[in-house]
């Protein structure tokens, strides 16, 4: 399907239909091709650029939703993380095969010139031993006129800008806010689909906005931003931060290392970067697969004390039951061994006789003693035990308890 990239309605409809069919790469290529045909700044065009930008934003949201659904359908062995240390805990086959050397999107003339060079001269442009790599895929960044860019030759750059997570209309810069300075450190813009020229759009230049989903790796620092929305992070218990200073780090794998300690600390100050008071106490969420079915982390010392007291309560209950059995056993022995040494009163009736003996005084005494012991000792101990259990449950299982076993602020999946 071909479209006229200068016709914004056609571009928007193409992006929408491609996204609805799950062809997100085609939607992305169409958007970049449209960007390539824009002149100077998207705001200066006489056409309504908003319909294309809206279609592109909707496409990204639809792709995010699709990716989330895929992330929840992992095979159990990849989700439960039961693989022993040092073994791979991931599927071997991915949705794409990326070659070690991939010059897709490089102009054929560039490849031809490289191949026409003598071998010794060509080796200097193959990227070995620190030499430059000719044809290393790198899309052209759609910069703002206020950006300051430090860019390398191999798809790595630092952009000093204002808050922006997508097109020039995105973020607080797009809204025209002040105090939203940002630093965007990116390598691998465009991810595995990076290319300088798009084959699907007739060999036109491949332009790229910041793409917080697909860019290979990023450290983003902003004076004012919506950090969770930028990186498509679920709210969790901490919540969705709006108009706050933020730092986001994203890559295939992230490691934070210290030769001594690492501390994750929240609520250090009473005033946030925007000048407002810090009113809420936010904790730390550890979220796997970006799926926020969170539970509080457990406090080890409190849990240890809780389990010890539970064991002591069980032991005390064992003692109460043992005393009850002892009192009952004494009565049982008396019942088993009792006898009567007095004449019986005989009552006759048609078909038989019955007789009534005199009371057994030892049995009466044993029964009274058993009743007193059970009332004064067993019942008393049982009531004390019940009160202790109520206090125990409040202290360890109620968030208001002094020894609550869960963290009140920190959660994990």
| Amino acid 246: pLDDT | 95
| Amino acid 186: pLDDT | 97
Where in the chain are the domains?
300-412
Mean local confidence (pLDDT), 83-100: 53
Check pLDDT > 50 for residue 412. yes
| Of 107-111, 114-118, 346-350, the least confident | 107-111
Mean local confidence (pLDDT), 332-341: 70
**First-to-last CA distance in the chain?**
44
Handedness of CA 145, 150, 152, 154 (dihedral sign): negative
Strands 148-151 and 140-141, bridge-based pairing: unpaired
The half-sphere exposure of 55 on its side-chain side, counting CA atoms within 13 A, is 25
Check pLDDT > 90 for residue 106. no
60/170 Cα distance (integer angstroms): 13
Check pLDDT > 60 for residue 72. no
Give the helix, strand, coil percentages of the chain, each rounded to 5.
40, 15, 45
pTM: 0.64
Residue with tokens 């969770």: 228
Residue with tokens 């032991």: 315
Check pLDDT > 70 for residue 6. no
Number of H helices, E strands in the chain: 11, 14
Mean local confidence (pLDDT), 5-17: 83
| Amino acid 43: pLDDT | 43
| Amino acid 71: pLDDT | 55
Q: Report the SS3 class of residue 269.
A: coil
212/231 Cα distance (integer angstroms): 6
| Amino acid 216: pLDDT | 92
Banded model confidence at residue 228, pLDDT cuts 50, 70, 90: very high
pLDDT in tens, 178-218: 999 999 999 999 888 777 766 655 567 788 899 998 899 99
| Amino acid 40: pLDDT | 37
Contact 397, 389 (CB under 8 A): no
Check pLDDT > 60 for residue 327. yes
What interhelical angle do 24-36 and 8-20 show, nearest 10?
Answer: 160
Candidate ranges 34-38, 134-138, 147-151, 318-322; pick with highest mean pLDDT:
147-151
Candidate ranges 6-20, 155-169, 259-273, 323-337; pick with highest mean pLDDT:
155-169
Mean local confidence (pLDDT), 245-249: 95
More confident residue, 253 or 32: 253
Mean local confidence (pLDDT), 358-387: 76
Mean local confidence (pLDDT), 155-164: 95
Candidate ranges 28-37, 116-125, 307-316; pick with highest mean pLDDT:
307-316
Banded model confidence at residue 135, pLDDT cuts 50, 70, 90: low
Check pLDDT > 60 for residue 44. no
| Amino acid 1: pLDDT | 46
Candidate ranges 1-15, 144-158, 290-304, 332-346; pick with highest mean pLDDT:
144-158
Banded model confidence at residue 162, pLDDT cuts 50, 70, 90: very high
Total residue length of the chain: 413
Banded model confidence at residue 154, pLDDT cuts 50, 70, 90: confident
Return the closest-CA partner of residue 230 out of 159, 238, 239, 242.
Answer: 242
What DSSP assignment string belongs to 259-326? Answer: SS---------SB-TTS-B--S----EE-STT----EEEE-HHHHHHHHHHHHHHHHHHHHHHHHHHH
215/56 Cα distance (integer angstroms): 16
In percent, the amount of the chain with pLDDT more than 70 equals: 73
| Of 1-5, 72-76, 185-189, 323-327, the least confident | 72-76
Computed over every residue of the chain, the mean pLDDT equals 78
| Amino acid 80: pLDDT | 45
């Amino acid at each position: 399907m071909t479209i006229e990239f200068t016709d914004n309605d056609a571009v928007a409809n193409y992006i929408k239909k491609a996204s609805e069919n799950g062809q997100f790469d085609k939607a992305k290529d169409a958007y970049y091709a449209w960007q390539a045909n824009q002149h100077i700044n998207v705001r200066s065009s006489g056409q309504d650029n908003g319909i294309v930008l809206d279609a592109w934003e909707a496409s990204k949201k639809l792709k995010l939703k699709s990716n989330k659904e895929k992330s929840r359908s992992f095979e159990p062995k990849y989700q439960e993380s039961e693989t022993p240390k040092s073994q791979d805990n991931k599927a071997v086959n991915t949705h794409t095969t990326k070659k070690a050397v991939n010059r897709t999107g490089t102009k054929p003339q560039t490849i031809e010139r490289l191949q026409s060079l003598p071998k010794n001269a060509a080796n200097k442009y193959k990227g070995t031993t620190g030499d430059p790599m000719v044809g290393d895929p790198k899309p052209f960044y759609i910069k703002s006129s206020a950006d300051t860019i430090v860019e390398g030759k191999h798809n790595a750059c630092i952009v000093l800008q204002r808050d922006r997570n997508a097109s020039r209309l995105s973020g607080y810069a797009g809204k025209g806010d002040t105090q939203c300075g940002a630093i965007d450190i990116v390598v691998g813009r465009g991810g595995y689909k990076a290319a300088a020229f798009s084959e699907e759009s007739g060999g036109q230049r491949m332009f790229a906005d910041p793409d917080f989903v697909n860019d290979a790796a990023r450290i983003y620092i902003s004076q004012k931003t919506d950090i969770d929305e930028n990186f498509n992070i679920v709210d969790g218990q901490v919540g969705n931060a709006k108009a706050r200073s933020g730092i986001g780090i994203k890559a295939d794998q992230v490691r934070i290392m210290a030769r001594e300690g690492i501390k994750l600390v929240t609520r250090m100050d009473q005033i946030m970067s925007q000048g407002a008071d810090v009113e809420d106490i936010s904790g730390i969420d550890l979220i796997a697969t970006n799926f926020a079915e969170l539970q509080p982390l457990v406090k080890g010392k409190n849990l240890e004390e809780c389990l010890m007291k539970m064991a002591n309560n069980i032991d005390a209950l064992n003692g109460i039951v043992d005393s009850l059995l002892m009192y009952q056993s004494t009565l049982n022995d008396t019942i088993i061994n009792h006898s009567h040494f007095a004449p019986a009163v005989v009552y006759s009736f048609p078909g038989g006789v019955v007789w009534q003996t005199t009371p057994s005084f030892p049995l009466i005494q044993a029964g009274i003693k058993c009743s007193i012991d059970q009332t004064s000792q067993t019942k008393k101990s049982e009531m004390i035990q019940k009160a202790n259990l109520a206090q125990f449950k409040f202290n360890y299982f109620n968030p208001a308890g002094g020894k609550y076993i869960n963290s009140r602020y920190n959660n994990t999946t």
